[in-house]
Structure 1
Amino acid sequence: MDHGSSRADKTVEEQRDIQKEVAENDQKQQGGNKKGAVQAGARAYPEPPFPKQHHPKPGHEADIDPAPMYDAPFYRGSGKLEGMVALITGGDSGIGRSVAILFAREGADVTIAHLAEDEDAEETRKCIEKEGRRCLVVRGDVRDPLFCKRLVQNTVDEFGKLDILVNNAAFQVHTKKLEDLSEEHFDETIKTNLYGYFNMAKAALPHLRNGSSIINTGSVVGLKGSPELLDYSMTKGGIHAFTKALASNLIERGIRVNAVAPGPVWTPLNPSDREADDVSTFGSQVPMKRPAQPEELAPAYVFLASPQMASYITGEVLPVVGG
């Protein structure tokens, strides 16, 4: 055997040793992943599997097991929104509730609008007042432009101004096939998720001024699509486009417009949509292997609303998707 052949055999042996080592490490890593989801926050968050459950629309936070974590006890306010006034649609529960609480903790008075979740809205009001800020609760449908105008006017009458609009109210129901997506269902999604945002922005704009901001809630499905959320994906992609277009439209007025695109989040939206078996594994498909809790999304809204932190940011869609 010549020297070249011997060297080749040795190289093959070394490569196989590397291959074996990598395979063994991969096997160990796979075993480690089965231990649970990624916990990288200030406290541990619930992991799938969750109790099987399905709730009627619009969903009530008080009925969900485990209860969504929204109060962010380790988050300390520092006056980032001191003296400002915010209006949050869908502010009674889920992401909206947590955003309302952190806005209050940062010094803002808050109006929360909700569809029909009176118990949830009352709990959110108590949380805001516990932070030492004022809260106005208004019940109504953002599909109705007259309600949106009245909601904004009520806010201005109560607090004297409006600085921040958070468009967050949404409707979502899965359908497995396009043929099963009725016109009524499609209209409900479009009118809530797109008309609602348009109506609220148009109603708020006369009261916004230089330094004000609009924050829209988009979604990861607006970035990637979802086979069983055809209509919802369409609206969330539309919200992202609306965000960018409106930001360009309002930039010369000094009004910033941005969006947050959440991945799976443990809120009333999904247990009132998915089948019980799907709810049990909700969020397990993302790299962190669990859904976010509302308090993990809310700081992104504080960041985008704060003139100290985001004065040079507009027209952006900020993904918070778990990897």
Structure 2
Amino acid sequence: MKILLVGGNGTIGRYLNTTLSKEHEVIVAGRSKADVIVDISDSESIKAMYEKVDNLDAVICVAGEAKWEVFENLSEEDFYIGIKSKLMGQVNLVRIGKDYLNHRGSFTLTTGILADEPVYMTSSAAMVNGGIHSFVKAVALELGNGLRINAVSSDLVEDAYEKYRSYFPGNIPVPMKKVAMGYIKAIESRLNGQIIRLQG
């Protein structure tokens, strides 16, 4: 399988690249130091990325950012960071990418536990994650060419535990192997329109 891994240099992306490369051809896309450069907040950049790769069987996105801040301090522009990057960035990967994937190809987007269990300072991030969940469920009904779409929603992952544990007191980190299995389930099974939730 030929897989485009968007955000392959991040915490989850690096582990996924190592795991998936054992059985598949993986092309890493990112803002720098990648096989192909892309800024997912820019639809023209996304289109240019797809023009540089061909014969894709799957697209996985583990990229996208959102502002973490107390609600009182969030400006309208702060909300647009997550909307333009993590939400519309992933929507546009699908909207544009549907014309580039092989028959019966798949998209796997990334959200997180904040959609279901938000914590302090995550009004923007939780909103974006929830929006992606709804998008995945709805667009799965309309994708043609046998295409599928799912999202992986993980609790705090093991490799990011030390950095973020103060935000998630009591949450059991998800082992990286389990995280990888969630993405493998999305691309290798026939699931469609599903939110694959992963907890420690």
TM-score by length of 2: 0.90
Distance of aligned partners of 1:174 and 1:105 in 2 relative to their CA distance in 1, 3 Å threshold:
same
**Percent same amino acid at aligned positions?**
26
After TM superposition, list the pairs within 5 Å mapping 1:149-298 onto structure 2.
149-156=47-54, 161-176=55-70, 178-250=71-143, 253-267=145-159, 271=163, 279=164, 281=166, 283-286=168-171, 288=172, 291-298=173-180
- Partner secondary structure for residue 248 of structure 1: coil
Which structure shows the higher strand fraction?
A: 2
Determine which of 97, 111, 120 is the counterpart of 2:27: 111
Deviation at 1:115, TM superposition (A): 2.3
1:94-133 equivalences in 2 (<5 Å): 94-106=11-23, 108-116=24-32, 118=33
Distance between the aligned counterparts of 1:270 and 1:314, measured in 2?
Answer: 33
Is 1:317 the equivalent of 2:195? yes
SS of equivalent to 1:91: coil
2-structure distance, mates of 1:269, 1:195? 27
Report the alpha carbon displacement of residue 172 of structure 1 after superposing the two structures with TM.
Answer: 3.4
Displacement of 1:280: 5.7
C-alpha deviation, 1:284, in angstroms: 4.5
User: Rg: which structure is higher?
Assistant: 1
Q: Is the 8 A contact 1:143 1:196 kept in 2?
A: yes
Whether the 8 Å CA contact 2:66–2:79 is kept in 1: the answer is no
Matched, 1:88 2:30: no
Question: What is residue 15 of structure 1 aligned with on the other side?
Answer: none
Q: CA–CA distance in 2 between the matches of 1:87 and 1:268?
A: 23
Query: Counterpart in 2 of 1:146?
Result: 44
Contact 2:2 2:57 in 1 (8 A): yes
CA contact under 8 A between 1:211 and 1:255: conserved in structure 2?
yes
Runs of 4+ with >3 A deviation: 266-271, 279-284
> 1: CA distance between counterparts of 2:159 and 2:31?
15
Do 1:102 and 1:302's aligned partners in 2 also have CA atoms closer than 8 Å?
Answer: no
Contact 2:107–2:148 under 8 Å retained in 1: yes
Q: Which residue of 2 aligns with 1:26?
A: none
Q: 1:102 and 1:280, CA in 2 relative to 1: closer, same or farther beyond 3 A?
A: closer
Higher RCO, Cα 8 Å, sep 6+ = 1
Deviation, 1:237, is 0.4
Residue type matched to 1:285 in 2?
G
Question: Is 1:96–1:168's contact at 8 Å kept on the other side of the alignment?
Answer: yes
Contact 1:94 1:266 in 2 (8 A): no
Counterparts of 1:138 and 1:210, CA distance in 2: 23
Q: How many residues align?
A: 200
Query: Taking structure 1 as reference, are residues 140 and 213 closer, same or farther at Cα in structure 2, changes over 3 Å only?
Result: closer
Using structure 1 for the length normalisation, give the TM-score. Answer: 0.57
In structure 1, C-alpha distance between the alignment counterparts of 2:158 and 2:75, rounded to whole Å:
27
Change (3 A) 1:280 1:268: closer
Partner Cα separation in structure 2 for residue 254 and residue 102 of structure 1 = 26
Q: Counterparts of 1:140 and 1:182 in 2: how far apart (Å)?
A: 27
Q: Whole-Å Cα distance in 2 between the matches of residues 247 and 228 of structure 1? A: 31
Q: What is the root-mean-square deviation in Å for CA atoms of aligned residues?
A: 2.2
Where do 5+ consecutive residues of structure 1 fail to align? 1-83, 122-136, 272-278
In 2, distance between residues paired with 1:267 and 1:144?
29
- Give ranges in structure 2 of 5+ residues lacking alignment: none
Distance 1:321 1:280, change over 3 A: closer
SS of 1:175's equivalent in the other structure is coil
Check if 1:304 corresponds to 2:186.
Answer: yes
Distance 1:221 1:280 in 2: 14
